Structure formats: structure tokens, C-alpha cells
């Protein structure tokens, strides 16, 4: 099975900071990676699919990038409402594995 290794597990940043979360697959996943945001006590929300495509309504400060085995979620200017845990997920093949999650907090 292809593993998804997400880092860091948590981070603390100031409002306005640029935040970067990475996800590394153990094999090439053909760009079929998605990113989710899960706010405390809430349901996960799909933000980005196929590496870099933002869902309608997702703020433009969120950006996905990468290729092959290495993928990145960037928040260009962290806002208080971005406090959440973020997960990557691969969907090129079964099993559709999630990363371990990155908890983002405000410093």
C-alpha cells in the first residue's frame, strides 16, 4: 500500500504568516491528492482536489501544489478562521489513505 506521510503534525503561526504543510507519498500518485480542513468538532471539508484545484468558495489564500510524490498545502496569510486540522488524502488507488493530519494554531 502507498503511505502518505504528512508534516508537521502541528504548527503555531501568527495571523498573516505563510503556512506550509507537506504530504509525501511512498510512490507516485499521479497528482491525485486532495486536502481537507477539519475545524474543531466539525465535519471534514474538502478544500483542494487533484493537487491544486480549489473548490468553489475556498479562499484564494489556500493553494495546493506538487507532483510525483511530494505535495504541499500553503496558506498564504493565516487567518483566525483557519485554525483547524488539515489532512491530505490520496485517491489514485485503493486504499484511499489519509495523512496523519496537521493541527494549525494561532500563536
Partner 1 sequence: QVELQESGPGLVKPSETLSLNCAVSGYSISSGFYWGWIRQPPGKGLEWIGSIDYSGNPHYNPSLKSRVTISLDTSQNQFSLKLTSVTAADTAVYYCASHAGNTFGPFDYWGQGTLVTVSS
Interface with partner 1, residue 27, by CB under 8 A: no
For partner 1, give the closer residue by CB, 55 or 106.
Answer: 55
Interface with partner 1, residue 40, by CB under 8 A: no
Under 8 Å CB-to-CB from 40, ≥6 apart: which residues? 83, 84
Interface with partner 1, residue 95, by CB under 8 A: yes
Residue 83, C-alpha cell as written in the block? 485554525
Interface with partner 1, residue 99, by CB under 8 A: yes
Interface with partner 1, residue 31, by CB under 8 A: no
Minimum distance of partner 1 from residue 36's CB (angstroms)? 8
Interface with partner 1, residue 87, by CB under 8 A: yes
Using CA atoms, how far apart are residues 98 and 3, in angstroms rounded to an integer? Answer: 9
DSSP 8-state class, residue 98: B
Using CA atoms, how far apart are residues 40 and 55, in angstroms rounded to an integer? Answer: 21
Amino acid at each position: 500500500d502507498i503511505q502518505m506521510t504528512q508534516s508537521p503534525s502541528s504548527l503555531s503561526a501568527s495571523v498573516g504568516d505563510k503556512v506550509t504543510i507537506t504530504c509525501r507519498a511512498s510512490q507516485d500518485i499521479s497528482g491525485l491528492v486532495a486536502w481537507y480542513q477539519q475545524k474543531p468538532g466539525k465535519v471534514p471539508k474538502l478544500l483542494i482536489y487533484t493537487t491544486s484545484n480549489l473548490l468553489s468558495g475556498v479562499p484564494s489564500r489556500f493553494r495546493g501544489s506538487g507532483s510525483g510524490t511530494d505535495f504541499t498545502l500553503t496558506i498564504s496569510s493565516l487567518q483566525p478562521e483557519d485554525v483547524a486540522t488539515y489532512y491530505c488524502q490520496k485517491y489514485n488507488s485503493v486504499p484511499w489513505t489519509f495523512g496523519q493530519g496537521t493541527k494549525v494554531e494561532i500563536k
